[in-house]
Structure 1
Amino acid sequence: MSLAENTVAWTKHPLQASNIPSSTLIVGTALQVEMNDAKLSLSDNRAIDAQDNVWLKVDVLDDKNRKRSGWVLVNGEGAKRVCCWDWFDFMQIKETSTLKEIYLDADKSLKRNKDNHALSQYKPTIKETLSILDKQHPVETNRYTSIKEASFKGIADKPMLFTALSRLLVNYESEWYSEIDAEGKLPKWEALNSEMTENAKNILAYLQTGDEAKLDAYLSRVGKAKDSPEAKGFETRRREISRFPADYQQSPSEKLTKAQFESYAKMAALEKQVTAWEKTKEKIKKMLWWDDVAKGLAKLNQQNDTPPENGETTDTTTPPADTTPPATLSADGKAWFIHPVAMMDYFTRVGIVTYHIYHDGKIERHIPVKTLKGYEKKYKYVYHDKNSHVHQLGIYDYVEVTNIFYPHQRYGLTKFIHLIDLREVRQKYSQHGLKYCFNVDSSQKRFFMNRDTLASFFGAMLEVNFVDISCNGFSTITGGSGISKSHYNGYHGDFKYLRIDEVLAKGDGTSLHIDLHPELFDVERQNQWNDALYKFGWTDMLGWSYTLNKIKKFPNHITKETAHHNHHLHVQFYDMDKIKERKK
């Protein structure tokens, strides 16, 4: 994928392809991104050109593992758009090493440094894993990773490396399969005895019996000399143990001195280490199921293919070509495995609180398990249209204020409320055949809408696709109502009546008085707008009547004339059950 750098995006004008310089950066590590990612929804990171092409600003790594930022065309050369179920371009490794060899490789990686970092010395699975982990450090730092928790944590916030590791497929023997020898043991796990308990067994034998050969074997394995402090320490402890009373095991805490009991505790810990590994192998053996299931499936498939007996007739028609093949498991226990890091996103999703607004009027507030750093006081808004297009409407900061209604049956259910400044909300939008345009002006500074009602506002605007929605305000920054009586907490608000000429009226004194100039009043569109507002949550409206051809009528959802509402529509009594919360 090529990347165009040093290009500034802007939101007031579309980004033009001609403004993108020729790329000089070739990205070596593929980057997989979600089109609905919270970060990529920001206006600074997403732009649309005159041909309706989407550009994303992304972070990648160059050939020196240095972070670079630039713009990529979503449908351009080198970029591939796929759905979440399209598993493409996975790196595949057929691992033939033994379990012990892989274990030793992982252990060897702990000793990597600038003089001993070559990947060629490792088996394929460890080699490819380390090659990905190493990219978290710029080449010039001479820092190298190993197979340990800290190295994997280091790529948690680096999507290009996280996804690269998650797309590493390894063909290997399942942990639920193992050969069992004539003695009932598991050869591949028994091979690990030397790594799991050999040192503990040697030291334990030396402390219990004084066998010098066992101490020498231990020192040889760990690379220590006979006169090393560690060796001297074991010799001292052995002398202490040799002076234990003969019957000390009956009651060690009573029969041993404090110093002797410390030596006894060390010896007991070594015994526990040895027995724990033996118990682990027994547990592994009890949990093996692969072989039984594989044989059971083979037998079942054989029964299904058994020819009829004793002259029984059978259906000889040819089965359809798309018949589902029989379920099977390999007899040797081998299968393709995806790295567990690929599944983390499904269970511990990190993100931003997002409102999902649906064309049928439903609204959901999705709460992630963990909030993305820097987005703790923001909300994201997404609209899903009837053609399954997803519209990114923006991410907005909120202010938290005390709920002046608390406690109250309708609006006082929480001690605090979150308000969003409509002046900061994207006021013009057009994508996938849907559009809206609005403005907000208020001499009383009622520029703030509730977090929930903003979702409903978006839904209503994209329901009607009008570009002349003029809002007279909802609430002040403190959740107050100004000189009005009911605009608290950003739930109730006012809109100018819609005009036939579709002019977006702005400023004081520009509202249409439908009692004085009904001929300028766009009745059809106003009814559509009222219906949309009702559909997305406002259950009551205040307004005025209009008279055309000497016939007096009311706009939809308005049943009477309310004083001072001949020049604006008032929406109220928001449905507090409208928003359904979903926790991931």
Structure 2
Amino acid sequence: MALPGFETIEEKATISELTKKLSKNRSARLDIEDCTEAMLTVLRILAKSGYNHYLWKSLPDKGKNKVKEFLQLLEINNKNPFTKEQFKAALRTSWTAELIGHLLVKYESEWYADEALSKWNEIDDLFEEEKQQQKTLIEAGLDEWRITELYQRDIAMKKVDEAHEHVKKNWQLEKAQRIKPSLWWQQVAQAQATQTASTDTPALSKLSADGKAWFIHPVAMMDYFSGADIVTYHIYHDGKIEKHIPQEILKGYEQKYKYVYHDKDNNEHEICIADWHTINKKGFNRYPRKTFKYPDHGRVSETKTNVSDGYIVAKAKYENGDIHEWIKKENGVSIYERLTMANGDIAEYGIHDQDGIVWRLYTKQQEEAQLVRMPDSINYESNDVVIKYELKETYRKYTNSDILAGFIGALAEIKENIIVTGSSYEQGSCFPSALHINGQSIDTKYIKKDRNLSDWEKDKEFVNALAKFHFGTFRIGATIYKLFEGISGIINGGTLHDSHLHTENFDFNAIKVIGQFENLN
């Protein structure tokens, strides 16, 4: 059978053979040599899904040895390939769903069997084999846990026996009460051969006598139904950005946003999925008068104690609930301490390039905002689409979700690996800055300096790319400001911005929201 745009596979394994393979995979690990051609085809598609794409890039499409090599790569990277959750996630990507939806597989229908249910009865003999496989697996676990008492091991084996007896009984009921009453294929095929023409009833035709037919995966029909999905930013090559909010949010993805880039040929590229959370916006006080120094802020209830909590290396607590934290020292990171107050205010302490050692105060506001956790890096390449950045020398790894969408669009335009030196902290504060408050701005290193280029053309291109994706203001260092003259939106950022480009003033109204919406920007 040939159908343009579809891949055809003839599955020759019987019901009992397939059941045996699946049973082995549950109790141990299915060797690649045991996979049928249909299994291998699906495995190749899933291997190239977004989750595993970086491992697959160098492997060709065909050959069991290459699929085996891929699985070995997964094992080396301590990943269990294709759990149920990963399989579901892969099917939710349009690229993977489309490929699986374009598979035509020929196999014997489950609605076809003889009166004695011969093909289904073959499964009966597999229960004992599966039981022994599971016992072997459990015995290995008991050995690992050093459980050597015979009575304890006997109890475990007895439980396996009891469970399998229960499964066997249910299987007999399944055959008698569900499978046998559902068998219609053979009867209809026989009637087809002896039917007489009628003007009232259309004639049956082409139903195979052996029960074999071509089947398409129901994922091919997914576009015809509305259902749960993840909130997704669609970023188009021409600068357009849409935020799609489904009627129902997929379970487990309520606090996540997906970012998808559309290239000039209308191909979709899933770039990342980012976690988001809600904060109370922060106001900024450059010169606070209060005392925040430990332990002078109040009565201490828990003295300074070393901790291992991300970039926090020590904590202390005051009786009023205020928490003082000490920050891990890293190259390029200027914050040293933070006081998170029970009223929601945050004071941060460190070194400012112009003001020296200072405290900054970020006061809690009533209005809320959303922040997304930026991936530490994006390293996406597919055909002519290149979207890359790295977070370096910063703990300010949170930004506004709309801003991340615009930034991804600009990255696709420039096709360079951009070094990002931060936006805001998870609470919306942003020491030593005032302008990054609530994730409203992004700092990046100049491309010329990072790449040691001979001119500033790439940096000019990047500013124009950011402007195309709705950023309005760019603070350029005083010593290089004149080199950028003529570009819309640039302002003299003083010597403070000689080391990095500061991008702000995003036009949130440029994003078109499709579906249910609550504006928290």
Q: TM-score, normalization: structure 1?
A: 0.43
Report 1 or 2 for greater relative contact order, CA contacts < 8 Å, sequence distance ≥ 6: 2
Q: TM-score, normalization: structure 2?
A: 0.47
